[in-house]
């Protein structure tokens, strides 16, 4: 895969329309509310017992509210709320574990939120030890055990404890190092704090460290974000996620505290991300896709080079062959052909558990057409190409005929040199890599039903 990215502002503006990020297909907006847990029980019953597991644990609590955030979270300084939540979480874990065969192996574990480090060190130890008592964890070198941390919520020994528990990857948000921007979004963390966390994590031997940045925040300018990039490149995380801030105060209440007049204009915002892509590429960060960068020797970049990269609800992953099982409020599972989402409030989540039911709120079972289109979208997002013969073999169709209308929709992108279509398949060009989401949208049969403002813009 080439490292050449073409930045053409006029072309970007022409195609820069809202669309899904495709952490699943069909996307979560297609999930349907259910009255009980029968779909989830059916998913476990139909599961291939040889399929390894990926576990996701959602910890919803945050001690501080970041005004840009659109995550499912509970902002509280009352740490006493964690203990009863963990008690219910263990109940859900035990309930789902009872439906799995004894030989199920966990190859991936991720604690997300919210802020998992809202939990005390003792609570983190207890939770992980409980999981290890319930499941058999892989000891392979490529097993992926990760956690999202908040540098402001670390105790003196937290990172050491996490490493001792087996976590080998951490991720945390920086967003921007400019003090004025930090104040405007209510996330104050000094450069010294970030450097300290990185230094300790390196010394402890975490295999991969990810940082999140956001462009489009209030008071950001090309010059100010360039200074942030200089520092981040010097600190040298293994992975970087550079997200587009979508200002949707009508959907996300905390964003109402952001003054829209302080946001960079469309041209400035485009200049920021264009410069970011150019600068990170020059600093030897491989553009994986969809806002994600990784050093060439990072597992994510290696997986893409080897054709083994996948995409699921956790974003790009090297363990896409696993069944993903979510625990905690709002968590999402993908088990075989089933997508399942938990209740999104603690009250409804706990009420289901009190009835002896798994706390399923929504579900979707994919059909043959969904699988075909998921295959195409995943191939394009992860590997920038899609082979017609491979589709024919996997789905028992004539893909060239079956997809004729969708391929016709790609004609403008082909005319602009963003992709190529021939008898063998579809290939995204260097010029089109930043707009691969647009190519995926041509194969999304659900997209036309939804208002575009439900999704963020491609760039």
Domain boundaries, the chain: 9-324, 368-454
Q: How confident is the model at residue 1, as a pLDDT? A: 52
H helix or E strand, kind and range, residue 312: strand 310-312
Q: What is the pLDDT of residues 210-257, one digit of tens each?
A: 999 999 999 999 999 999 999 999 999 999 999 999 898 998 999 999
**pLDDT at 449 > cutoff 80:** no
Query: Phi, psi at residue 378, to the nearest 5°?
Result: -65, -45
Angle at the Cα of 210 from the Cα atoms of 152 and 25, rounded to 5 degrees: 115
Task: Pick 71 or 237 by higher pLDDT.
Answer: 237
Q: How confident is the model at residue 3, as a pLDDT? A: 58
Q: How confident is the model at residue 6, as a pLDDT? A: 76
Which residue, among 103, 113, 100, 43, has the nearest Cα to 73 in the 3D structure? 113
Q: What is the dotted CATH code of the domain comprising 368-454? A: 1.10.10.920
Which residue, among 308, 307, 281, has the nearest Cα to 296 in the 3D structure? 281
pLDDT category of residue 364 using cuts at 50, 70 and 90: very high
Query: Phi, psi at residue 435, to the nearest 5°?
Result: -120, 25
Which residue, among 437, 436, 373, 453, has the nearest Cα to 405 in the 3D structure? 373
Cβ neighbors of 415 (< 8 A, separation 6 or more) are none
In the DSSP assignment, the letter for residue 457 is B
What length does the chain have?
459
Strands (E), 337-387: 338-342, 360-365, 385-387
Cβ atoms of 45 and 400 closer than 8 Å:
no
Q: Give per-residue burial for 114-133: e unless 16+ CB within 10 Å, then b.
A: bbbbbbebebbeebbeebee
Quote the tokens at residue 331.
Answer: 């968590």
- The Cα 203–Cα 317 span in angstroms is 25
Please state the rounded mean pLDDT for residues 435-450.
Answer: 90
Predicted structure pTM score: 0.93
Q: What is the pLDDT of residues 79-89, one digit of tens each?
A: 999 999 999 99
Q: How confident is the model at residue 18, as a pLDDT? A: 84
pLDDT category of residue 454 using cuts at 50, 70 and 90: low
Task: Pick 448 or 395 by higher pLDDT.
Answer: 395
State how far Cα 69 lies from the chain centre: 14
Q: What is the pLDDT of residues 128-182, one digit of tens each?
A: 999 999 999 999 988 999 999 999 999 999 999 999 999 999 999 999 999 999 9
Q: How confident is the model at residue 72, as a pLDDT? A: 80
DSSP-assigned letters across all residues of 9-42: HHHHHHH--B----SSSS-GGG-EE-SSSHHHHH
Q: What is the pLDDT of residues 290-339, one digit of tens each?
A: 889 999 999 999 999 999 999 988 889 988 889 999 999 999 999 999 99
Strands (E), 216-359: 239-244, 286-289, 292-294, 310-312, 315-317, 323-327, 332-335, 338-342
Q: How confident is the model at residue 319, as a pLDDT? A: 86
- The Cα 171–Cα 208 span in angstroms is 9
Please state the rounded mean pLDDT for residues 10-39.
Answer: 91
Q: How confident is the model at residue 451, as a pLDDT? A: 54
DSSP-assigned letters across all residues of 425-440: EEEE-GGGGGGHHHHH
- The Cα 320–Cα 299 span in angstroms is 13
- The Cα 255–Cα 271 span in angstroms is 23
Q: How confident is the model at residue 210, as a pLDDT? A: 97
Q: What is the dotted CATH code of the domain comprising 9-324? A: 3.80.30.20
Question: Percent of the chain at pLDDT above 90?
Answer: 85
**CA torsion through residues 303, 385, 48, 42, sign:** positive
203 Rama sector, left if φ>0, alpha if ψ -120 to 50, beta otherwise: alpha
Please state the rounded mean pLDDT for residues 369-386.
Answer: 97
- The Cα 395–Cα 402 span in angstroms is 11
Q: How confident is the model at residue 424, as a pLDDT? A: 97
Q: How confident is the model at residue 397, as a pLDDT? A: 97
Q: How confident is the model at residue 147, as a pLDDT? A: 98
DSSP-assigned letters across all residues of 154-210: --TTHHHHHHHTT--EEEEEEE---HHHHHHHT----HHHHHHHHHHHHHHT-SEEE
Q: How confident is the model at residue 288, as a pLDDT? A: 93
In three-state secondary structure terms, 310 is strand
The Cα diameter of the chain in Å comes to: 62
Q: How confident is the model at residue 101, as a pLDDT? A: 85
Cβ atoms of 64 and 187 closer than 8 Å:
yes
Which residue, among 5, 35, 39, has the nearest Cα to 335 in the 3D structure? 39
Highest-pLDDT range among 66-70, 337-341, 455-459: 337-341
Q: Which residue has the tokens 């994600």?
A: 292
Angle at the Cα of 382 from the Cα atoms of 377 and 386, rounded to 5 degrees: 55
């Amino acid at each position: 895969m080439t490292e050449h990215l073409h930045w053409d502002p006029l072309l970007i503006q022409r195609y820069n329309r809202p669309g899904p990020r495709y952490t699943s297909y069909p996307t979560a907006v297609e999930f349907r509310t259910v009255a009980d847990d029968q779909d989830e029980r059916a998913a476990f019953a139909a599961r291939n017992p040889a399929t390894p597991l990926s576990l996701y644990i959602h910890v919803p609590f945050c001690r501080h509210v970041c005004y840009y955030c659109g995550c499912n979270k509970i902002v509280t300084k009352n740490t006493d709320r964690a203990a009863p939540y963990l008690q219910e979480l263990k109940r859900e874990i035990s309930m789902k574990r009872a439906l799995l065969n004894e030989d199920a192996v966990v190859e991936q574990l991720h604690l997300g939120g919210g802020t998992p480090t809202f939990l005390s060190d003792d609570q983190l130890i207890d939770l992980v030890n409980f999981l290890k008592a319930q499941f058999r964890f892989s000891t392979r070198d490529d097993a992926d055990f990760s956690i999202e941390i908040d540098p402001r919520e670390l105790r003196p020994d937290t990172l050491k404890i996490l490493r001792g528990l087996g976590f080998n990857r951490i991720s945390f948000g920086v967003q921007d190092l400019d003090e004025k921007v930090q104040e405007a979004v209510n996330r104050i963390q000094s450069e010294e704090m970030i450097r300290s966390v990185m230094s300790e994590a390196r010394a402890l031997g975490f295999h991969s460290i990810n940082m999140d940045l956001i462009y489009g925040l209030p008071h950001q300018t090309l010059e100010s974000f360039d200074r942030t990039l200089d520092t981040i490149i010097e600190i040298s995380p293994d992975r970087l996620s550079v997200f587009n801030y979508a200002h949707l105060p009508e959907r996300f209440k905390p964003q109402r505290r952001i003054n829209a007049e302080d946001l960079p204009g469309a041209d400035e915002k485009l200049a920021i991300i264009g410069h970011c892509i150019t600068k990170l590429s020059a600093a030897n960060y491989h553009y994986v896709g969809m806002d994600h960068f990784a050093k060439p020797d990072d597992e994510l970049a290696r997986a893409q080079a080897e054709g083994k990269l996948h995409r699921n609800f956790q974003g790009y992953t090297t363990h896409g062959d696993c069944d993903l099982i979510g625990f905690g409020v709002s968590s999402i599972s993908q088990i075989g052909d089933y997508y399942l989402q938990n209740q999104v409030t603690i009250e409804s989540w706990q009420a289901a558990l009190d009835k002896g039911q798994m706390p399923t709120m929504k579900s979707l079972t994919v059909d043959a057409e969904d699988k075909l289109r998921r295959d195409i979208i995943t191939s394009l997002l992860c590997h920038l190409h899609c082979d017609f013969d491979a589709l024919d073999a996997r789905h028992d169709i004539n893909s060239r005929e079956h997809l004729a209308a969708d391929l016709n929709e790609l004609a403008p992108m082909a005319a602009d040199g963003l992709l190529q279509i021939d008898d063998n398949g579809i290939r995204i060009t260097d010029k089109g890599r930043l707009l691969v989401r647009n190519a995926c949208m041509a194969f999304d049969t659900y997209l036309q039903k939804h208002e575009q403002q439900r999704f963020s813009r491609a760039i």
